[in-house]
Amino acid sequence: MGQNFDASHDVATVGTLPLTPPDSQPQDPVQVLNLPCPPFISIDGLHNFRDCGGYPVADRPGKIVRRGMLYRSADPSKITNTGISQLQALKIARVFDLRSDFEIEESTKKGWGQIRVWDRAVRVQASVFTDSDIANGQRAMRDQNLRKEGIEGFVQYYRDVLESATSLSNPFQPLKNILNHLAAVRPSELEPILIHCSLGKDRTGVICALVLSICGVDDSTVAHEYALTALGIKDKIVSIIAETRPNGPGISEEEERFFSSRLVSPS
């Protein structure tokens, strides 16, 4: 999917994210997949942090999604002061947290997942699933389905994410609020954002995939961007298993399925 880009192209906007002429960094998504950076950026204490920019727009030859505007990651509960300084250097102004209140409370009691805030960035609660989703047993059912063999559990889960993220009954309106931020100002005035859930895998993956699709990135490239999470969360999964079972067995096959990023080829 590599392209010969012409740096003389003007800045343009497609969908909600500004597009920019490519620079000297690698633009081929296949090539990017083989490199830890780009798109991954090392942030101290923050896993799975990467830039969703740099991908070609299918119907706009020579244009790519602008870098340095849309970042994604796992939750920042373990970020260090050095990591916060690194995020501030990236000028991230909004942090959209896709987790529910109950989920945050539950994980905080276990020693991870607590809310972190820092200067020059506003945390925005953008819960995909509300606390009622947990109360009625939907979360437990989804978690169980994700541990099963095959892709059906993931497919249904992502449908649930899409439905809940766009539902008028969701008071947080996560997708709408993220798109409103990205489309509210001229490209030159746009402030970078970070989107995260717990691992930065499923909910974050669906939201970022939708944004990239709106920008005109083709399905196979969006799917490859999603699959990068398998690399991004390896260390975090190891730490989760070590914290929950310090003297117990390693990760089980069922847990590997639960934590995996299932890449399904677009039809």
Above 60 in pLDDT, residue 197?
yes
Q: How far apart are CA 127 and CA 171, in angstroms?
A: 9
Of the chain, the percentage scoring pLDDT greater than 90 comes to 55
The rounded distance, in Å, linking the Cα atoms of 41 and 47 is 9
In a domain, 85, yes or no: yes
In a domain, 178, yes or no: yes
pLDDT confidence of residue 244: 67
Residue 267 lies in a domain: no
Domain that holds residue 174: 12-259
Mean pLDDT of 99-109: 92
Q: Which residue in the block uniquely carries the two structure tokens 């059906």?
A: 152
Q: Do 170 and 164 contact (CB within 8 A), yes or no?
A: yes
Residue 203 has pLDDT above 60, yes or no: yes
Residue 6 lies in a domain: no
* Residue 61 belongs to some domain of the structure: yes
In this structure, is residue 56 part of a structural domain? yes
Please tell me the total count of domains within the chain.
1
Question: Burial code of 228-262, b = ≥16 C-beta within 10 A, e = fewer?
Answer: bbbebbeebbeebbeeeeeeeeeeeeeeebbbbbb
Residue that is written with structure tokens 């709106």 in the block = 214
**Does a structural domain hold residue 117?**
yes
| pLDDT on residue 21 | 40
Is the pLDDT at 61 greater than 80, yes or no? yes
What's the pLDDT at 5? 27
What CA–CA distance (Å, rounded) separates 115 from 112? Answer: 9
In a domain, 7, yes or no: no
| Mean pLDDT score of the chain | 80
CATH code of 168's domain? 3.90.190.10
pLDDT for 118 equals 97
